[in-house]
Amino acid sequence: MKISLSSVVAVSLAALGIGFAVSAMGAKAAGKKELVQWSLADLKWKDVPNTPGLQQVDAYKKGAMQCLFTRFPKGTEVPMHTHTNDIAGVVVAGTFGSTDEGGNGKTQAVGGFQIIPGGLKHSTKCTAEADCVVFSCLPGAFDLKVAKAAGGKKE
């Protein structure tokens, strides 16, 4: 039986194509995309280190970017502080907001949105009526650094 070069090339290309298709299908199955949903009642809260009363739940993380829910007990007031990264957040429960050193800012009801630039000194407040929950996203890890007053003492 005589096999031509064109037959060998055709079979090789077909086998290569099938190999790529099977490999792609396997990769797609391994990286299966799923819809993720939950309600506030489903969240498993964890205490935030060094911030008494604050709790968080990681909602999404991809690379350095993360989104999270943060719960502040009613009446919480966090003194002047900064975060390394910008934080964009939406109030999903309670009345919550931030104020910068110049007094700019206000508390907002559910649906209120704010962006806090990384490094901006600000305070945050959850009013006394109900616990506050904020959904926020940032391009890196969440941190909170208490600001120092003019005399070098923490505020």
Q: Which whole number is the average pLDDT over 59-71?
A: 94
Q: Other CB atoms closer than 10 Å to residue 145's CB: what's the count?
A: 12
Judged against a pLDDT cut of 70, whether residue 72 lies above it is answered with: yes
What are 49's two structure tokens? 């280190």
Q: What is the pLDDT at residue 151? A: 55
Q: Which whole number is the average pLDDT over 48-61?
A: 88
Collapsing DSSP to helix, strand or coil, 110 comes out as coil
Question: Pairing state of beta strands 145-146 and 96-100?
Answer: unpaired
What are 3's two structure tokens? 């096999």
Pick the CATH number of 40-146 from 3.30.2290.10, 1.10.275.10, 3.20.20.10, 2.60.120.10: 2.60.120.10
Query: How far apart, in whole angstroms, are the C-alpha atoms of residue 144 and residue 84?
Result: 8
Q: Other CB atoms closer than 10 Å to residue 46's CB: what's the count?
A: 10
Q: What is the pLDDT at residue 150? A: 59
What are 115's two structure tokens? 């962006």
Domain ranges of the chain: 1-34, 40-146
Q: Which whole number is the average pLDDT over 112-121?
A: 97
Q: pLDDT tens digits for 30-45?
A: 568 888 888 888 899 9
Q: What is the pLDDT at residue 153? A: 57
Range of lowest pLDDT (53-62, 88-97, 145-154): 145-154
Query: How far apart, in whole angstroms, are the C-alpha atoms of residue 115 and residue 134?
Result: 12
> How far, CA to CA in Å, does 1 sit from each of 4, 5, 10?
10, 13, 17
Judged against a pLDDT cut of 80, whether residue 97 lies above it is answered with: yes
Q: What percent of the chain has pLDDT over 70?
A: 75
